[in-house]
Copies of this chain bind each other. A is one copy, B any other.
Amino acid sequence: MKKITIGEAARQSGVKVPTIRYYESIGLLAEPERSEGNQRSYEPSHLHRLAFIRHARELGFEVDAIRTLLALQDDPNQSCASADAIAKARLIEVEQRIRSLTALKAELEMMVEGCGHGRVDQCRVIEVLADHGQCMHPHH
């Protein structure tokens, strides 16, 4: 058995030590066995779990969604419709967010370009903020 400490698990998974403990506390990661001195002792299965969680978090899935995805992973006979739905929902969110950020980008660019680098009373940044009517993009 190649049991490892929480620090080593953190190093190998890229998830920080307090975050690993946090995942355990919210029931996302199973409680590992403990050493004689009460220190957590992780097995490879925990590392796989951590990698899964980390990747899902990087993709922006919420903890609740990850909980569902993990449950699905544990039951390979199940239909993957739920996993599909979760991923699709996340995709729609991401697309929405990109659209909205692209509109923001355009508005910010206009503000920054319009700034004459002079005094505040001619500054387009402040002006546009103060008067939303000057914003061309109906992003909000």
Contacts and interface: CB of A to CB of B under 8 A. Distances in A.
Contacts of A59: 104, 107-108, 129
B60 A119 contact: no
Interface stretch (A17-25, A26-34, A87-95): A87-95
A4 interface: no
B104 A60 contact: yes
Contacts of A84: 112, 115, 117, 123, 125
A72 interface: yes
A80 B122 contact: yes
A101 interface: yes
A11 interface: no
Dominant SS among interface residues on chain A? helix
Given A55-B129, A101-B97, A77 B121 contact: yes
A43 interface: no
B112 A78 contact: no
A6 B52 CA distance: 47
Given A55-B135, A76-B121, A135-B55, A94 B83 contact: no
A83 to B, nearest CB: 4
Interface of A: 48, 51-52, 55-56, 58-60, 69, 72-73, 75-81, 83-84, 86-88, 90-91, 94-95, 97-98, 101-102, 104-105, 107-109, 111-112, 115-123, 125-126, 128-132, 135, 139-140
